[in-house]
A and B are shown apart, each in its own frame.
Chain A
Amino acid sequence: DAKTTQPPSMDCAEGRAANLPCNHSTISGNEYVYWYRQIHSQGPQYIIHGLKNNETNEMASLIITEDRKSSTLILPHATLRDTAVYYCIVRGTGGGNKLTFGTGTQLKVEL
Chain B
Amino acid sequence: GAVVSQHPSRVICKSGTSVKIECRSLDFQATTMFWYRQFPKKSLMLMATSNEGSKATYEQGVEKDKFLINHASLTLSTLTVTSAHPEDSSFYICSARDTGTSGYEQYFGPGTRLTVT
Contact = CB atoms under 8 A, between A and B. Distances in A.
**Chain B contact residues: over half helix, strand or loop, or mixed?**
strand
A101 B45 CA distance: 7
A44 B93 contact: yes
Contacts of B108: 36, 43-46
Q: Which interface residue of B49, B93, B95, B108 has the most chain A CB atoms within 10 A?
A: B108
Given A44-B44, A99-B95, A101-B44, A49 B103 contact: yes
A76 interface: no
A50 to B, nearest CB: 11
A41 B46 contact: no
**Interface range for B:** 20 to 34
A46 B32 CA distance: 17
B78 to A, nearest CB: 17
Interface string A20-52: 000000000000100010100111111001000
Contacts of A38: 44
B67 interface: no
Given A43-B4, A102-B43, 14 more contacts: A42-B110, A44-B44, A44-B108, A46-B1, A46-B107, A46-B108, A49-B103, A93-B102, A95-B99, A95-B104, A98-B49, A101-B43, A101-B44, A103-B43
Interface of B: 1, 4, 6, 32, 34, 36, 43-46, 49, 91, 93, 95, 97, 99, 102-111, 113
Interface of A: 32, 36, 38, 41-46, 49, 87, 93-95, 97-104
